[in-house]
Structures are given as structure tokens and as C-alpha cells.
Amino acid sequence: MKIAIGNDHTALDMKREIKAHLENKGHEVINVGTDSSESSDYAVYCEKIALAVTSGKADLGIAICGTGIGMSIAANKHRGIRCVVCSEPYSAMLSRRHNDSNMLAFGARVIGPEMAKMIVDAWLDATFEGGRHKKRVDLIMDIERRNCV
């Protein structure tokens, strides 16, 4: 899979660990985050990740900041993005199975790298179940169509 990954200054080491983890598993990783520890603005990198996903350059996106919250708020401003913040693997897995999430966010100040790898693996190993869940995701996308200019 092609996975876009991005981060702000709080998540440099975490991004590097997750990037290496994904590459070890055979994924192609597109790094659009900062590689500097200078203070930076998460929304800038989040937009790059989301655009990689919505343009089809990447299949999925992973966004890491201090909490994952700013990244997820910014990501969900993009048409077609369904970004979830997760601190454990169960929600990450179900966000793919039930919500067809296409971006995952987490906080480098909230969880450690081993938990982050478990979350990422659970997310990537799960697939959207469709059926009744498709109807519900379609309803979400209808809200986007009606309310976002």
C-alpha cells in the first residue's frame, strides 16, 4: 500500500519509527511531515497528507502531532477524508471495518511507539465491511455534501 505520513515537531521520532515499521512491512511511505524539531504548525502537514489521499497519490494517510487532535480536526475539513484519532488498536480496527476511515491520527505525547505500531497494524489489517455500514458512511458523506462549500 502507499501510505502518506506527516507530523509536526512533536512527533519527529514517532514518525521515523512508524515510517520504518511500515517500510519493513513492505508499504511505500510518502513522507510529507517535517523533519525538523523546530516548532511547526500541524495543519500545514495535515493538508499535505489529506491531499495525497484525496488525489489518489496515497491509499491512506497517517497524521501524528502531540495529541493527534489538531491533525484530525484539520484532516476532516477535507472532502472525502474520514480521519480518526486513536489511542488503542480496537477503535482503529473498527474505524476501518465500520467507518471506512482513510486517515489515522494519534498523539506522540499520548502513546508510545509500540502502542502506535499496534494501532497502525490493526488499522491496516482491517477492511471496510460495507453493507449496513456503507449506508451509514454514505449518510456522513451526504452531510459533507450538504454543508461544506
Interface contacts to ligand RB5, rule CB under 6 A: 8, 10, 42, 65-67, 69-70
Task: Judge whether 65 counts as a catalytic residue.
Answer: yes
Residues of 111-120 as b/e, b for ≥16 C-beta within 10 angstroms?
beeeebbebb
Going by C-alpha positions, the residue among 40, 106, 118, 113 that lies closest to residue 67 is 106
Catalytic residue among 27, 46, 65, 86: 65
What's the closest the beta carbon of residue 46 comes to ligand RB5, in angstroms? 10
Task: Judge whether 83 counts as a catalytic residue.
Answer: no
Amino acid at 136: R
Nearer to ligand RB5, 53 or 85 (CB): 85
What's the closest the beta carbon of residue 70 comes to ligand RB5, in angstroms? 3
Give helix 89-97 / helix 113-125 axis angle, nearest 10°: 20
For the chain, the first-to-last Cα distance in angstroms comes to 31
What's the closest the beta carbon of residue 26 comes to ligand RB5, in angstroms? 29
Nearer to ligand RB5, 10 or 102 (CB): 10
Catalytic residues: 65, 98
